[in-house]
A and B are shown apart, each in its own frame.
Chain A
Amino acid sequence: MTLRNNSGPVKWILIILVILFLAVFLILPLVYILMTALGKGVEVYKASITDKYAVKAIQLTVQATLWAVAVNTIFGIAAAWCLTKYAFRGKKIISTFIDLPVTVSPIIAGLIYVLTFGRQSFLYPILDSRGIQIIFAVPGIILATIFVTFPFISRELIPVLNAQGTDEEEAAALMGAGTFTIFRRVTFPHIKWALLYGIVLCTARAMGEFGAVSVLSGHLRGKTNTLPLYIELLYQGYDYTGAFAASSILVIMAVLVLILRLFLERRGQKELDIHK
C-alpha cells in the first residue's frame, strides 16, 4: 500500500485537473488558431499564405533560421568537443557565457546589439564607410536569431560527450588518427541523435523569435519582416484571418517539432544508456 499504487478518488481528481488545465491553456489556443485561419474558407487561407509579402517573410525567416542552425552547429560541436575532451582553466566561465543568451530578455538581447552596431557605437563609422548596415537590416535579424538560440546545440551535445568519456578518442589518437578522422569515425556516431535534437530545438526557436528580432528589424514589409513580425503587422492591421493563417504555418512547425522531439529523445536516450 504505497502512494504509487493508489487509485482512489485523489488520483482521478488530479488527472482531470491536469487535463483540464492543459486543455484550456495549451490545446484551446492551438485549435483556435487553426479554426480562425480556416474560418473564411480554404481559398482565403491559400490566398493569405501565398501573398507576396507572406512569401517574402517566410523566405527571410528560413534564411535567418538556416544561418542560426549553421553557426550554432559549428559552434556547438567545437564548444562541446573542447569542453569535454580537454582539461583547462576557465571552463566554468565559458559555460556561463554560452548559457547567458537564453537567460536575458529578448528585448535586452536586441538592445545590446543596437548598442554594438548602432550609430553611437565605435564600430559604426568603420561599418558605415564600407556600406555595411547591420541594425534595421537583414544582418541584424540574423545576428539576433543566432544570439537567442546560441546554447541550444552545445547544451544537447555536452552531456552525451561527458557520458561517453575520452577513452575511445585517446585510443584512436594513439593509433595515429588525425582530428577529423577521430571526430568523424569515433565521436560523431555517438552524438548524431543529440545533434539532430539540438538542431530541431534551434530551428523551432529561431523561426519563432519575436522580441529580439523586433528590436533589430526595420519593420519594412517585404524586406526586414520575418514571419512572426509579419503576423504582428497583419494583426495590428485587423487582418485577423491573415494573421492566424500565417500563424498556422508556425503552429504546424511547432507540432512537428514536438513529434520529432519525442522520436529523437528516445533514440538519444538509448545512446546515453549504452554508456551507463
Chain B
Amino acid sequence: MKASKSRSIIPGFGLSFGVMITILSLVVLLPLCSLVVFTLKLTPSEFLYTITRPRVLSGYRVSISTALAAASVNTVMGLIMAWVLVRYEFPGKKLIDGIIELPFALPTAVAGISLTHLTTTNGWVGKIFFDRFGIRIAYTRLGITIALIFIGIPFVVRSVQPVLEKIDIQYEEAAMILGADRRTTFLRVIFPEILPSLISGFTLAFARSIGEYGSVVFIAGNTPYETEIAPLLIMSELQEFDYAAATSIALVMLAIAFVILSINAVLQSKVSRRISGLA
C-alpha cells in the first residue's frame, strides 16, 4: 500500500499541491487542452491536404536532414569533448568545460545573426570558404546545419561526461592485462558503457534541432523548397491567421519529436538490459 497523503506528518501538502496544480493548469494544461480541442475540429481531408503540400513536405525534409547532420557532428565532437574533459589534464580545461554551456546561455537570435554575418560570402569565415572552394555557407542548408551544430553542442557532452567519469578503471586495466591494445579496449570495454548516453545525447540534440527557430531563421535565407524549415512554415501560416494549417504542420512535428523520444526510451532499456546481462 502506498502511504496516503494524510499519513505524512509534514504539514503543507494541500497548500503546495494546490499552488503546483493551479500554476501547472494555467501555464501548461489549459493551452495543451486547447490544442487538443482545436485538433479535433480539423477535418481529416484538410489536415492531409496541408501536410502533403509539396512546400510543407520539403520543409520537413529540410528540417529533418539538417537536424540529422548537425546531431551527427555533435555526437562525434561531443564524444571527443567528453573524453578530453574527463581523461586528460591540460591548462585551460576548466575554461573549456564552462564555455561548452554557452549555447544554453546565449539567446538564439543573437547567435543566429552572428553566425550569419560570419558565413556570408563577405564574412570572416564565409569568404575563405567561398574564395578557396566556392562553397557558400550562409543561406544554404549547410548554413542551417552550422547553426544547429552551435545550439546542439552541449547536449552530447553533458550526457556522456558523467557516465565516462563513473567508469571503473579496473575494467580497462583488466582488458589491458589480458592483452588488449588501446583501440580494442576503447571499442570493447568503454564504448559499450557510454553508448546509451551517446544515443540519448544524440536524440536530445536532434529533437531540439528540428524545432529550432531563432538561430536558424537568419542564416537559412528561407527560400521555399530549398532552405525553408518546418517551424518557419508554421510561423508564416500564423502570420496569415491560418490556424488550421499551422496546427496541422505543428501536429506532425510533435509526432516526429514523440517518435524520436520513444525510440530513444526503447533503445535505452534495451542497451541497459544487454549491459546488465539480461538479454
Contact = CB atoms under 8 A, between A and B. Distances in A.
A11 B5 CA distance: 55
B187 to A, nearest CB: 12
Given A150-B28, A210-B214, A22 B100 contact: yes
Interface string A96-112: 01101101111110111
Given A32-B118, A207-B107, A228-B214, A4 B169 contact: yes
Interface residues of B, number: 88
A36 B117 contact: yes
Contacts of B190: 3
B231 interface: yes
Given A3-B87, A108-B253, A146-B27, A87 B3 contact: yes
6 contacts: A3-B185, A4-B87, A106-B211, A208-B108, A215-B238, A228-B109
Nearest to A262: B98
B11 A254 contact: no
A108 B102 contact: no
B172 interface: yes
A247 interface: yes
Contact of B20 (A28, A78, A231): A78
A48 interface: no
A211 B150 contact: no
Interface of A: 1-4, 6, 11, 14-15, 17-19, 21-22, 24-30, 32-33, 36, 71, 74-75, 78-79, 81-83, 85-89, 94, 97-98, 100-101, 103-108, 110-116, 118, 120-121, 143, 146-147, 150, 166, 169-170, 173-174, 178-179, 182-183, 201, 204-205, 207-211, 214-215, 228-229, 231-232, 235, 240, 243-244, 247, 250-251, 254-255, 257-259, 261-262
A28 B125 CA distance: 10
Contacts of B60: none
Interface string B248-276: 00100110010001000000000000000
B188 interface: no
A112 to B, nearest CB: 4
A27 B32 contact: no
Nearest to B32: A112
Nearest to B19: A78
Contacts of A121: 34
A33 B118 CA distance: 10
Interface in B118-170: 118, 124-125, 149-150, 153, 169
A81 to B, nearest CB: 5
A147 B173 CA distance: 49
Contacts of B231: 105-108, 211
A178 B9 CA distance: 11
B98 A116 contact: no
Nearest to B214: A210
Nearest to B111: A29
B8 interface: yes
Contacts of B34: 112, 115-116, 121
B172 A2 contact: yes
A22 B31 contact: no
B234 interface: yes
A145 to B, nearest CB: 11
Contacts of B29: 97
A178 B218 CA distance: 54
B225 interface: no
Contacts of B211: 104-108
A26 B35 contact: no
Contact of A210 (B17, B108, B172): B108
A198 to B, nearest CB: 13
A146 B96 CA distance: 31
B243 interface: yes
Contacts of A110: 238
Given A88-B4, A210-B214, 5 more contacts: A79-B24, A88-B17, A104-B257, A210-B109, A262-B98
A233 B134 CA distance: 31
Contacts of A89: 2
B48 interface: no
A88 B17 CA distance: 11
Contact of B13 (A86, A113, A243, A244): A86
Q: Which 8 A-B pairs have the closest CB atoms?
A: A208-B107, A105-B211, A179-B12, A210-B214, A78-B19, A211-B213, A82-B16, A29-B114
B151 to A, nearest CB: 10
A233 to B, nearest CB: 11
Contacts of A261: 98, 101, 105
A110 to B, nearest CB: 7
Contact of B27 (A33, A143, A205, A235): A143
B109 A231 contact: yes
Given A110-B238, A247-B114, A105 B210 contact: yes
